[in-house]
């Protein structure tokens, strides 16, 4: 605990969405709270496949109002969200013997801010996998090298903070490779001085032992190396189109969240989001077309629907009225460029009246995740007043 903030050390806090679960459980235990009949729904895999919400039988539920407690800004009520789908590119790798390939080294991109690939994509923060591709491209234009391994990112819905590659560089040109990497670090610190001031790139000797990737003491063939670097450069990443009707809101985006070596090859996991089904489908079609050009296998999965704005909403009106009465100021009513389970529930129950609300949470999906303690208390008291008004 640091003043008004709660965080964890060396890991994500889990406030997203442990706080929502805590609110729901506290309501079940609040014997003196006035509220209509309640149904508490706790789902699994919300951050990945949304399988819990997908598999839930809507016939089990009687209510047609839903308060989703999976939001992260006090004073902002979310009433619409983007849909999304995951795109998987798998690049086959041909291996060759590492004998005579040179001195082993470790190339790292680190120190990035990262963040949520929906909420934070608009900030144009650096993606470590994308930056790694640019450095590898710069190196191949300057000197020969071989790749033995590559990895970056932890989740498709998080902007990667770190990425790395195991390389072999001729001994005589190792210093030149180090110089090239330093030049790229300087470029990135200029490009991302505002969004990622701590961006760092390093290349160090890895003389501790034999480099093994995928259980094989070998290196990518020259063709496989070339296609890997091309893939890192070409698989789209970031905001593709902004919403013209809602200033500051992305309409369509992609995030390369994971790059890893598997038995099948190098696997890229991207999350594509859009508030328009047609643009989501178009972006996925481009992903598939790019896979054909790059010689990658392609899979699409985990589609989830967007949450359309409801013109008439009693639940929204109550939230807005109670907030104005209790806080003395208007509530912000917004759409969010992220996947919210409200979209899945609304797709199953077209007459569902839903909103999403929560306390202040910052840097979710990163080790810097934290929540404002006073905001949690205010949100709890506000929620009780909303339920009383219903």
Nearest to 113 by CA among 96, 131, 136, 92: 131
Q: Answer yes or no: are the C-beta atoms of 160 and 153 closer than 8 Å.
A: yes
The domain spans of the chain are 5-82+306-389, 85-304
Lowest mean pLDDT among 9-18, 28-37, 271-280: 9-18
* Percent of the chain whose pLDDT exceeds 70: 97
Q: Is it the case that residue 214 has pLDDT exceeding 80? A: no
| pLDDT per position as a tens digit, 91-129 | 999 999 998 999 999 999 999 999 999 989 999 999 999
What distance in Å separates the CA atoms of residue 174 and residue 159, rounded to the nearest whole number? 31
Please give the average per-residue pLDDT across 304-317, as a whole number. Answer: 93
What distance in Å separates the CA atoms of residue 304 and residue 352, rounded to the nearest whole number? 17
Please give the average per-residue pLDDT across 173-177, as a whole number. Answer: 97
Q: Answer yes or no: are the C-beta atoms of 74 and 164 closer than 8 Å.
A: no
| pLDDT per position as a tens digit, 282-295 | 999 999 999 999 99
Going by pLDDT thresholds of 50, 70 and 90, the confidence category of residue 211 is: low
Q: If you classify domain 85-304 with CATH, what class do you get? A: alpha beta
Q: Is it the case that residue 209 has pLDDT exceeding 70? A: no
Query: Which residues have CB under 8 Å from 304's CB, separation 6+?
Result: 50, 54, 83, 84, 85, 339, 343, 344
Whole-number mean pLDDT of the chain? 94
Q: Is it the case that residue 216 has pLDDT exceeding 80? A: no
What distance in Å separates the CA atoms of residue 129 and residue 259, rounded to the nearest whole number? 7
Please give the average per-residue pLDDT across 299-319, as a whole number. Answer: 93
Alpha helices in the chain (DSSP H): 15-29, 51-55, 128-140, 174-191, 222-234, 277-294, 314-327, 342-348, 373-389
Q: Is it the case that residue 89 has pLDDT exceeding 90? A: yes
Which residue do the tokens 């077309």 mark?
289
Going by pLDDT thresholds of 50, 70 and 90, the confidence category of residue 217 is: low
Going by pLDDT thresholds of 50, 70 and 90, the confidence category of residue 364 is: confident
Which CATH number describes the domain made up of 5-82+306-389? 3.40.630.10
More confidently predicted of 17 and 131: 131
Please give the average per-residue pLDDT across 243-253, as a whole number. Answer: 90
What distance in Å separates the CA atoms of residue 259 and residue 377, rounded to the nearest whole number? 39
* Percent of the chain whose pLDDT exceeds 90: 84
Please give the average per-residue pLDDT across 332-361, as a whole number. Answer: 94
* Residue 313: exposure state from Cβ atoms within 10 A (0-12, 13-18, ≥19): middle
Which residue do the tokens 């039988």 mark?
57
Query: Which residues have CB under 8 Å from 3's CB, separation 6+?
Result: none
Which residue do the tokens 């770190």 mark?
162
What pLDDT was estimated at residue 339?
Answer: 85
What pLDDT was estimated at residue 329?
Answer: 95
């Amino acid at each position: 605990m640091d003043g008004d903030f709660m965080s964890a050390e060396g890991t994500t806090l889990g406030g997203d969405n442990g706080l929502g679960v805590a609110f729901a459980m506290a309501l079940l235990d609040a014997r003196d709270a006035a509220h209509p009949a309640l149904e508490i729904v706790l789902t699994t895999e919300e951050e990945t496949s949304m399988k819990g919400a997908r598999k839930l039988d809507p016939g089990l539920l009687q209510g047609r109002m839903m308060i989703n407690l999976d939001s992260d800004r006090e004073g902002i009520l979310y009433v619409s969200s983007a849909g999304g789908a995951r795109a998987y590119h798998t690049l086959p790798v041909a291996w060759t013997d590492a004998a005579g390939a040179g001195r082993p080294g470790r190339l790292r991109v680190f120190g990035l801010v990262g963040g949520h690939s929906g909420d934070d994509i608009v900030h144009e923060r650096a993606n470590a996998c994308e930056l790694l591709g640019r450095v590898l491209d710069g190196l191949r234009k300057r000197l020969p090298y071989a790749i033995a391994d590559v990895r970056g990112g932890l989740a498709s819905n998080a902007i990667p903070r770190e990425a790395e590659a195991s390389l072999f560089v001729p001994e005589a040109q190792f210093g030149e490779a180090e110089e090239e990497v330093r030049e790229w670090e300087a470029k990135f610190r200029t490009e991302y001085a505002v969004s990622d001031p701590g961006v760092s790139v390093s290349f160090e000797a890895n003389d501790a032992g034999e480099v093994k990737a995928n259980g094989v003491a070998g290196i990518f063939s020259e063709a496989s190396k070339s296609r890997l670097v091309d893939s890192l450069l070409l698989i789209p990443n970031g905001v593709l189109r902004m919403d013209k009707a809602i200033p500051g809101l992305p309409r369509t985006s992609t995030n390369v969240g994971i790059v890893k070596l598997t038995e099948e090859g190098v696997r890229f996991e991207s999350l594509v989001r859009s508030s328009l089904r047609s643009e989501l489908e178009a972006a996925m079609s481009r992903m598939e077309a790019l896979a054909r050009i790059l010689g990658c296998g392609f899979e699409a999965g985990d589609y989830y629907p967007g949450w359309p704005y409801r013109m008439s909403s009693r639940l929204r009106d109550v939230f807005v009225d109670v907030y104005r009465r209790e806080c003395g100021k208007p509530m912000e009513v917004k759409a969010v460029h992220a996947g919210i389970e409200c979209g899945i529930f609304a797709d199953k129950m077209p007459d569902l009246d839903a909103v999403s609300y929560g306390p202040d949470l910052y840097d979710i999906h990163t080790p810097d995740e934290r929540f404002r303690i006073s905001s949690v208390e205010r949100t709890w008291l506000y929620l009780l007043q909303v339920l009383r008004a219903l």
